[in-house]
Amino acid sequence: MPLALLALALGTFGIGTTEFVIMGLLPEVAAGLGVPISDAGHLVSAYAAGVVVGAPLLAGATVKLPRRPVLMALMAVFALGNLASALAPGITSLMVVRFLTGLPHGAFFGLASVTAAAMVSRERRATAVARVFLGLTIANVVGVPLATLLGQAAGWRATFAVVGGIGVVALVAVAAFVPAAEPTATGKGALRGEVATLRRPQVVLSLAAVIFGFGAMFACYSYVTPMLTEVGGFSTAAVTLMLAVVGLGMTAGSVLGGRAADRAPLATLCVCLVALAGVLVSFVVTVHHPVLAVLSLFGAGMFSLALGPAIQTRILDLAGDAPTMASAAIQSASNIANSLGAWLGGMVIAAGLGYLAPTLVGAALAVVGLAVLALSGGLELRLRRREANAALALA
């Protein structure tokens, strides 16, 4: 089991690296292809669009197939996409390839989470899912900085080639260590049941909480560099180290959030959103103090990523025997959150409210996410009371 989880985490490590490294290599990509950096920036959106589109489509298309071959196929598409990115002759072809590379992202995360949860007892599901997500957080701490340095030294094409190699290794590891498993769903109505799960009010509310919760972090994180340099007075070298602190916080949050979510997923989500809102509000003050700023960034990373295993576990509980599409939809929701948070943060800066305004936008989004969870919890409590009353009536 540890080797199986490690194989899945290696896949999420590669996916996390390719998703975020492009942001640090935009100047090199733009210069290499002879286009403005604004045009190169569309590569980020192309990958995100691939994630949003591919997550539900591929999850639905493969729901009746055995899990291990599907995971291998998804990783193969990811590896080929990165290798093709290294060979793309122009910005248009690279944009198409980046869109295609993003297609297996959400489906892999969703199916990997379902597979990991199925390998352990019910009370340890969140911990298993957290170990799979650990690859994503380690990518932010180690993978992205090293891949960025490689791209700056040897060219951006070398970075995509290496990430493609990581995908190949992950594919081999999945084939070797992930146990064979039956399809997530079988029978004529399998796909219909998966789609029906996405229409359940509780699942919709949980996905909305993902959008607002992760959107809270991205509203701040998208503009953290100008916050630190223009407001906090930090050097660009110090900013690099402080971004690594965010990654360390994410790693801690993934581990601790998994353990907490094993006991109470909904309570873990609520506590994390309250804490995240508090940290984001406090950053208006702490950004001016080096030690406090580091603590705030660590806390923001920790409480935001602790949401991951908790929301995944809650979705598994709510989806019942049709969890694949709902699990994959979490990745679509998180990419929508990325766009929403960055857009709202940019709006308040453009309105002249200053570089720190996005932190308050993030805090507001966290509060909205908390309200959504409160509604979800209220509906759940009402349903339990109704079931209890029905049981008493039958008795």
- Residue that is written with structure tokens 């009402």 in the block: 382
Give CATH superfamily name and number for 190-395: MFS general substrate transporter like domains (1.20.1250.20)
Question: pLDDT band for position 11 (50/70/90)?
Answer: very high
Nearest alpha-carbon partner for 12 in 249, 256, 250:
250
Whether 1-179 and 190-395 share one fold: the answer is yes
Q: Is the pLDDT of residue 61 over 90?
A: no
Nearest alpha-carbon partner for 99 in 168, 43, 36, 37:
43
- Residue that is written with structure tokens 């039956």 in the block: 182
The larger pLDDT score, comparing residue 313 to residue 285, is at 285
Alpha-carbon distance of 355 to 300, in angstroms, equals 17
Nearest alpha-carbon partner for 272 in 264, 141, 293:
264
Alpha-carbon distance of 261 to 309, in angstroms, equals 7
What pLDDT score does 370 carry?
93
Alpha-carbon distance of 281 to 277, in angstroms, equals 6
* CATH number given to 1-179: 1.20.1250.20
What pLDDT score does 28 carry?
85
For residue range 217-270, list pLDDT tens digits in order. 888 877 777 788 888 888 877 877 787 888 888 888 888 888 888 888 888 899
For residue range 330-343, list pLDDT tens digits in order. 878 887 887 788 78
For residue range 163-172, list pLDDT tens digits in order. 999 999 999 9
- Residue that is written with structure tokens 């100008």 in the block: 226
Q: State pTM to two decimals.
A: 0.76
For residues 181-202, average pLDDT? 68
Q: Dmax of the chain from CA atoms?
A: 76
Q: Is the pLDDT of residue 189 over 60?
A: no
Would you kindly state where each structural domain of the chain is located, as residue ranges?
Answer: 1-179, 190-395
Alpha-carbon distance of 244 to 262, in angstroms, equals 27
